[in-house]
Amino acid sequence: VMTLIEEGRIDLNAAAAEYIPEFANHGKEAITVRHLLTHTGGLIPDNSIKDYDDGPAKAFERIHELSLQANPGEKFIYSDVSFITLAEIVERVTGKTVHEYSQERIFQPLGMTESGYLPAESLRERAAVTEFRDGQPMRGEVHDPRAYALGGVAGHAGLFSTANDLAKYCAMMINGGERNGVRVLKPETVSLMTAPVQVSSGTRGLGWDIRSSYSSNRGDFFTKSAFGHGGFTGTAMWIDPPQELFVIFLSNRVHPDGNGSVNSLAGRIATIAGAAIR
């Protein structure tokens, strides 16, 4: 999304309905791209899994018909629906799925050959098993049921990667959008993306967490300029440019029954990493 904002193809302050006209109903016509990126659009966290039973096209139609839980800009509600909608905007603007666009614009230029949606068979064999679906262990398939119903490509879930690849991404962000001579974002876009935004439950960036109710995996010694994000299956990544520090934590905490918890462990590891360079 930020690459398209940088190119002027998406306006951060434009209504989402400018790109998805069908989205403009039940109060959603006031939701902007900025609202979606900061989870302040007033959308519900998740719509019913039954809304995805009839394929992706019908699933998007049902998202377009959703009502608001709060007025746009009023409060922070972490919403998978917001990021599903952002991926739809990317597809409307570029004519490419978020899978295709992210490969072309981010992963391939950075040499992140083990990252993306729908991993190849050779990569799936290396993926950590999560839960079981229909009695079979899930390996290299998206765990999230809504992303799975959307064919494994969605704005809120479905990305696979390795620590080595993510380190390349972190280095790019620390270096203001460039790594090894390859520029993915302008420095001012990185600054915009990671600038603190006050929301009802703390501080967020555009797509990033900074310090909120979701930041327990941040550790104790990252600076106020740090930004990161966690993932449902037990992952976290935090980046601190002033200290040239990043921490990548990858686990399959949902294996085998979905009941594992690793946030405190991820936070402790981040604290140890931060303490080591003080």
Q: What is the pLDDT of residues 84-109, one digit of tens each?
A: 999 999 999 999 999 999 999 999 99
In a domain, 18, yes or no: yes
Average pLDDT over residues 217-222: 96
In a domain, 40, yes or no: yes
In a domain, 222, yes or no: no
Three-state DSSP at 116 gives strand
In a domain, 72, yes or no: yes
Give the domain extent around 82.
2-105
Q: CB-based contacts of 139: which residues, under 8 Å, 6+ apart?
A: 124, 125, 127, 128, 129, 130
Tell me the per-residue pLDDT of 172-209, one tens digit each, with 9 for 90 and over.
999 999 999 999 999 999 999 999 999 998 999 999 99
In a domain, 65, yes or no: yes
Residue 258 has pLDDT above 90, yes or no: no
DSSP string for 128-154: PEEEEETTEEEESS--SHHHHHTTS--
In the structure encoding, which two tokens stand for residue 152, read together?
Answer: 């494994």
Q: What is the pLDDT of residue 102?
A: 99
In a domain, 185, yes or no: no
Is residue 125 within 8 Å of 140, Cβ to Cβ?
A: yes
In a domain, 230, yes or no: no
Domain count, the chain: 1
Q: Is the pTM of this model over 0.85?
A: yes
> Residue 98 sits in a domain of what CATH number?
1.20.58.710
